[in-house]
Structure 1
Amino acid sequence: MRIIRHRSILSLNFLLLFLAFTGSAGAVVLKPHFCHAVTSSNHLPGPNGYRCDGTPRGYEKQWLWLRHELTPDERARTDWSLTIRQTRFRQLSVIFHYVDGRTNIHTVRAGDFGDHWALNAHLAFPAPSRDVELDSVTIGFQDLAAYDLLRVRLLPEPIRAREAGIVALLAGCALSLLFASLIYNLFLFGVAKQRSALWHSLWVACMIGWGAFWSQLALAVVPAAAGIASVRICAMLAAFAEAAATMLLLSSIEPGMLPRWGRISLRALAAAVVAAAALAIMPPAGTPSLLANILTIVVLALVIGVIMATGVAWRRGSRFARDFALAWSLPIAAVLYSIISDIVVTDTRIFSGELLVLLVGAFQTVWLSVRATFTLAAMRVERDRERSQRARFEQLAETDDLTGVYNRRGFLVRARQELARTDGKQRTVGLILADVDHFKRINDTHGHDVGDLVLRRIADALRALSGDVVVGRLGGEEFGLVVAGGLALDIFVEQVRETISAIDMTDIAATLPGVTASFGYVRASDHPDASFEPLLRAADQALYRAKALGRNRGVEGHPADVQRGEEEPRIGHDRRTHRSSPLSFRQ
């Protein structure tokens, strides 16, 4: 199963990269065919002011003009649209020249792209369709950041619209998956209180913000962010995402898989990335390039550190490190493709590197969310198993092995809980102690095996009593009961006495006479201010009197016994081994 999953990830990598190189038929890449000129103002150069060889230089603080003359085949179409993929400039002018000498001019500037912004970080300028042919296109940039990163295409408007539709669909799906994953991981954090779910949520939130600003969807809400502001926000969010991913790794990886110094180093690098990214969003005058270089260095150091930490943990047997590496193989491949394509790939493709990063980021977060779900499910199963075992052990610790009812410890716990429930409530609650009469004689005459069977038979009868009854064996032949309900306590005790007297023991021993029991009881509801120990003492004293009066009867405890001292009676012990006890002659 692991081999199939690993191969699936690798296959998806190759599939996405193949799709990324899918081009648009009919698109014309203009960059290799540009003639260029550099001026200090926005005045359009004359026809002889352009150079058609070499690469533009010294344009960073000037106006860079690029001109393309359409070929005869290109002039045959009248539905051209110009797309530009580079938004780091102060101002941009696009001029369409027609063969009749007329021009059509479009102008945008940083912070105001008007209705020319398009998805996939493009600016789109459709040429007005006229009866005359389009002759040439001139593009003017003021303070362009990097000519090497400029991507300009001339393509038919239907193809551009189709591409825009595909990109909108893919970007929308990716952002929707990311948003759903954000909600889901926040839910996991709220339910499971796992820090890894919180860090994953922060990473997803950064990816959503980055995708919204990179694709320019955010411009529908904050149009003033067009241009350099969006670029800086994207850089900041990408750095924050790297830091969140690092903390996700550190919070999820199993203990002992990384050395302490390694964890400290990664946390320090993540903090440095966040600090550098925060400064880069609003850099002081004269520091943008310096801060950008610092941010690049610390991000690169963090990425290297994360890769090394993942490898070390994977080698030590960390399952999360393995899943983390597989999930991150897609974004890393997408980023590498984005970097390489900017250098060696002509811009005829539908998929940009950034769109591919957004798509695989959505897949990655789904992968990690599914993995977290299975991990939490396994943890819940293990937790439920541990709880079940703990409950079983607790039950065994509070259960009498011989009779199956509560032992002394379990009965006293349940009795205290039941009596505590009577506070402020109008209901009858009684505490009853029962002692089998002449039990020592049964053991001496018929043997301890028969005595054990007698105790089991009595316990079964007590357990079968109707109503809200708690039954426990306090030790030897003594049982305790707590009963709550509307039936008078003395009537209930008499019913219990008759039930025990009516038990047929002849199948246990043919010569075994009928078994009886003596009872001492107290109404706890009549003493709402009394604690449990005085009530138990009063019931024990009443049982003592029942034995003294001839056994096989029930005696109610006196109020004076309840008020007498707080010392817990010595119940639950074999009367034969405590001759100093006033209850020793009950046998």
Structure 2
Amino acid sequence: MPSSGSMGIDSQYCRAGWGLVLALMAMLAALGWAGSAAAATHEIGGRVPCHAVSSEVAPLERVPARYTCGGEPAGYQQGSLWLHVDLHGNPQARSEPAVLVHNSRFDRLEVCFAFADGAIVRQQVRSGDFGSHWRAGAQIAFSAPRHGAPVTGVTLRFDRLASANMLRIRLAGPDAEEEQSTVLAAAIGSALMLLLVGATFNASLSIVARRQFSAWQAGWAAVMLLWGACWSQLLLLVLPAMAGAPSAQVCTGLACLATMLATMSAVTALQKHHLNPLLRKSTLYLGWTVGAMGVPLSVVRSGPIDLFANLLGFLTSALLLAVAACLIQAWRRGSGEARTFAAAWAVPMAVLGFSGFVDTDQWLWGGGSQLLVLFAAAWQTLWLSISASRSYALLRMQRDVARRAEAQAHELARRDPLTGLRNRRGFFEVASASLEPGTGVPVALLLIDVDFFKAINDTHGHDAGDDALVTIARRLARWEGERCAAARIGGEEFAMILSGLHGFALARFAESVRSEIAACDHGEALGRVTVSVGVAEAGAGDVMSALYRRADAALYAAKRQGRDRVVMGDAADASSGRRVSGA
């Protein structure tokens, strides 16, 4: 068995190892995001397209005089950009290929299919109206119609395109395009459902448990849900006017807002004493800065948009490193929340870093890095929701244990430790409740005193006296129920509060109590132990103190009359009492 010292060293190595892993993931994500900020996919069907540019939006039927097959296009943001790819010899061009364009910021997109027999077919979409061309996964599909001749070339024309570097275009067969779109829609729907469940659960938890972390997490999951619905274009099912540039712009703002909320969720969940104040403030300020940048970036349509994207990538990279530093520092200082968030953030960081170093734009049938991020977000909200549930369940268990302990202590404070019956305090609480007006049920009090108890203690010892009291208590406990409560209210004095009996029935019950106690077996040494019983019936408006005085007077009357008997008290005159029975 390892010693406690070795276990502490192992724990330190574990924290250091996980901290190193998290730091490497953060650096990987930062470098990957920064490196991918200006990445572009220029190949269509395995070939690099040629381009032509017009500084102004060209007439619809205009065809460029020539194409440039090298370099990067420029000067197209207020005009038109043509991309042309020659498909001679491409096997996909023989069977009605489909061109899939990832949604971006443009006013109009036209796709021309050129056939070997000279025929040309044009298809187009506009911002705000994609018709039936939109597909799940932020893609716009243009399918070549059935024709007797193969497709020899495809030309894409973009009017007022924000950035050519953000274009992602691919070629697919007609059957493959339908299958891929179906699978993408199902996968995206599953991820969005997980985000919806996470947002709803955390919102409920923030209200019930009043936890700030859950509120931030619910906001983040809700924003990611909106981002996923907007990016995937599933939002077009209810808002078709959001097609194109509007949804692309909204996605940018939502992505920045989600980044800010994720930062707030992670940092505010960590205790302040686990973090360096400067590191904590710097991370929060970076998160707010990234969130604020989403406002201008969501409305810009021209200008140095690639520069803005690089700046946002740099700030986001710095933010990832800052969050990783917070988690590592809090973890090393013993924060359980840091361990939870490290596991939750590790996957998104790894995804961002991986997609930055590996070209994932054509992965998952065009879903690319955004789809990976969506799944990573679903993982993150699921993990944090489960962790929050476990923490909340643990808190509830601890609260329930504390409440049970409190209730047990409350009950023990009202119980006699020797006999287990109620003590004087507990009995008076129950008896007073029985006397509350409006019940309409007769109530009676029985005071029971052991006869010659001092002689038992003096002759046989206090242990024998205690045994006699316990035996009597066990017999009284048999009568306890909804209408009867018994207690030991003094040294050798017991009491019973009874409801539902009065007059002759009450007298018979009191006599049965006396006789059955007298019949208890106390062993040959003690022999027969008897009791005297005083009974008082509650009158209208009676309180416990008055009822007790009458029962006590009846008990003393039983003692004066020779003990081992029951005396009924008179509600009209407490000084008199009538004997019911006796030895």
Alignment TM class, shorter chain as reference: 0.7 to 0.9
Is structure 2 residue 344 aligned with structure 1 residue 332?
A: no
The aligned counterpart of 1:447 is: 461
How many angstroms apart in 2 are the aligned matches of 1:114 and 1:170?
23
Q: Distance in 1 between matches of 2:85 and 2:306?
A: 32
Q: 2:393 and 2:46 mapped to 1: Cα distance? A: 55
Q: Deviations over 1:279-311 (max 9, x none)?
A: 765689999999989977775665444322211
Return closer, same or farther for 1:436/1:346 CA change in 2, 3 Å cut-off: closer
* Paired residue type of 1:371: S
Under a length normalisation based on structure 2, what TM-score does the superposition of the two structures give? Answer: 0.80
Match of residue 255 from structure 2: 238
Quote the residue 1:205 is aligned against.
Answer: 222
- The residue type equivalent to 1:363 in the other structure is W
Q: How does 1:93-104 map to 2 (within 5 A)?
A: 93-104=110-121
Say if 1:37 and 1:66, in contact at 8 Å, map to a contact too.
no
AA matched with 2:156: I
What amino acid does structure 1 have at the position aligned with 2:555? L
2:329 corresponds in structure 1 to 312
Choose 278-287 or 495-504, whichever is displaced more: 278-287
Gap regions ≥5 residues in structure 2: 1-10, 30-42, 575-583
Match of 1:565 in 2: none
Aligned pair 1:41/2:57, yes or no?
yes
- CA–CA separation in structure 1 for the residues paired with 2:543 and 2:282: 59
* Structure 1 position 518 matched with structure 2 position 570: no
1:232 counterpart SS class: helix
Report the Cα distance in structure 2 between the residues aligned to 1:426 and 1:299, rounded to whole angstroms.
75
2 CA distance for matches of 1:334 and 1:545?
91
State yes or no: 1:465 paired with 2:482.
no
Does residue 536 of the first structure (1) align with residue 548 of the second (2)?
Answer: yes
CA apart distance, 1:158: 1.9
Change (3 A) 1:555 1:169: same
1:273–1:541: structure 2 CA closer, same or farther, 3 Å change rule? farther
SS in 1 for 2:54: strand
Report which stretch shifted further, 289-298 or 49-58. 289-298
Contact kept in structure 2, 1:429 and 1:482, CA below 8 Å? yes
Q: Is the 8 A contact 1:443 1:451 kept in 2?
A: yes
What is the correspondence of 1:46-445 to structure 2 with a 5 Å cutoff? 46=63, 48-74=65-91, 77-186=94-203, 188=205, 194-250=211-267, 252-253=269-270, 256-258=273-275, 277=294, 302-341=319-358, 347=362, 350=365, 351-420=367-436, 423-445=437-459
Contact 2:510 2:566 in 1 (8 A): yes
Bigger shift: 438-447 or 452-461? 438-447
- CA change 1:410–1:273 in 2 (3 A) is farther
Contact 1:91 / 1:141 at 8 angstroms: preserved in 2?
yes
Distance 1:231 1:76, change over 3 A: closer
Contact persistence 1:437–1:552 (CA under 8 A): yes
Q: Deviations over 1:520-564 (max 9, x none)?
A: 33334x33x3443333344334434443444333444554689xx
Aligned length, in residue pairs: 534
CA apart distance, 1:348: 6.3
Aligned residue in 2 for 1:20 = none
Change (3 A) 1:558 1:312: farther
Q: Identify the structure with bigger relative contact order (alpha carbons < 8 Å, sequence gap 6+).
A: 2
**Aligned match of 1:567:** none
* Cα drift, residue 183 of structure 1: 4.4
Q: Distance in 2 between matches of 1:357 and 1:495?
A: 80
Task: Quote how far apart the aligned CAs of 1:188 are.
Answer: 4.8
The DSSP-based 3-state class of the residue aligned with 2:90 is helix
Contact 2:57 2:160 in 1 (8 A): no
- Secondary structure, counterpart of 1:71 in structure 2: coil
**Aligned partners of 1:243 and 1:273 also within 8 Å:** yes
Over aligned residues, Cα RMSD in angstroms?
3.7
For 2:132, what is the secondary structure of its paired residue? coil
Distance 2:314 2:516 in 1: 87
State the distance in 2 between where 1:232 and 1:450 align.
90
